Amino acid sequence: MGNIYDASWRFVGRIDADGMVYDEGWNLIGRVDENGHVFDSSWNLVGRVDPDGNVYDASWRLVGRIEGEGIVLDNSWNVVGRVDPPHILEGGAALLLLF
């Protein structure tokens, strides 16, 4: 289980080992699959994350990046939050695309 935080380091949700993403009230808001595809709670594809930490929306537009230590940046390189290990890439993509 990896916790997800916004830019103020406020807890906003979590991602579990199966890639299921929950908000702070444990409501399922989406999923990140093993290939880096991000789905909303209606199972619509909303984007993807590549192995280098680049996050794209469903139209392949770059929306941000996840740094190795779990810091999440938008496409203007502003910090939008952070994710705890072990699911840094998946949780960062969820933060950019689902929250």
CB 38 within 8 A of CB 25: no
The dihedral region occupied by 80, where left means phi > 0, alpha psi between -120 and 50, and beta the remainder, is alpha
pLDDT at 68: 83
Which sequence spans correspond to the domains of the chain?
2-98
pLDDT at 27 over 90: yes
pLDDT at 16 over 90: yes
Cα-to-chain-centroid distance, residue 41? 14
pLDDT at 46: 98
DSSP letters for the chain: -EEEEETT--EEEEE-TT-EEEETT--EEEEE-TTSEEEETT--EEEEE-TTSEEEETTS-EEEEE-TTSEEEETT--EEEEE-TT-HHHHHHHHHHH-
pTM: 0.95
pLDDT at 48: 98
Amino acid at 25: G
Q: What is the mean pLDDT of the chain?
A: 97
pLDDT digits over 46-84, tens only?
A: 999 999 999 999 999 999 999 989 999 999 999 999 999
CB 8 within 8 A of CB 14: no
Share above pLDDT 90 across residues of the chain, in percent, rounded to a whole number: 98
| Interval 7-30 mean pLDDT | 97
